[in-house]
Amino acid sequence: MRQGARLQPLNRSVGYALKQATTALHNAMATSLRPLGLTVPQYSCLELVSQKPEQSNAQLARGMFVTPQSMNDVLRGLQSRELVERPDEPAVGRARPTKLTAAGQAQLARARDALAPIEQRMLAKLGVADQEQLLVYLRSITDSLEHCAEDADSAV
């Protein structure tokens, strides 16, 4: 039983701390977005479409780390409320490039205003250099785990 040797208490575990931070952030965002009638994935999608307009559903899905089906769910919700628009007829291939409507831009601006205090608060105790370092750490983790996933896939 060698587990005993490397066992660390939960409060020392990066995975545990990561989950707590994400849960806290998600709850705070969801609470602030609810009055606007937006969920967290819907807001993320608006942000993504704003920053990278005219992308296909598949491209957006990759950008948000979800399946095309999940992204399509989110897009349909936003489209039915006329916050984003896609041509009825595909432009090229089957792709229907998405962009924000005027209402979508206004809603995104409201969402950013609602979320600004949260981001500010979240990072309150961290200096600019700390934030940069934190980003480096998080990207390192994500990269390493993605390679891990690729290995798992190819192993099957």
Residues making contact with DNA (CB under 7 A): 26, 30, 39-42, 56-59, 66-70, 72-76, 86, 90, 92-96
Q: Which does 94 bind (CB under 5 to 8 A by kind): DNA, a copy of itself, none?
A: DNA
| CA gap 153, 17 in Å, rounded | 27
User: How many CB atoms within 10 Å of residue 110?
Assistant: 14
Helix ranges (DSSP H) in the chain: 3-6, 14-33, 40-51, 57-64, 68-80, 102-122, 128-155
Q: CB of residue 44 vs a copy of itself: minimum separation in angstroms?
A: 8
Q: Which does 155 bind (CB under 5 to 8 A by kind): a copy of itself, DNA, none?
A: none
Tell how far CA 120 is from the center of its chain: 18
Q: Give the angle 24-75-64 at the CA atoms, nearest 5°.
A: 50
Entry field: residues in the chain: 156
Q: CB of residue 60 vs DNA: minimum separation in angstroms?
A: 8
- The site for a copy of itself (CB under 8 A) is made up of 1, 3, 6-7, 9-10, 12, 14-25, 27-29, 31-32, 44, 47-48, 51, 63, 65, 109, 112-113, 116-119, 121-126, 130-131, 133-135, 137-149, 152
Residue closer to DNA (CB basis): 7 or 149: 149
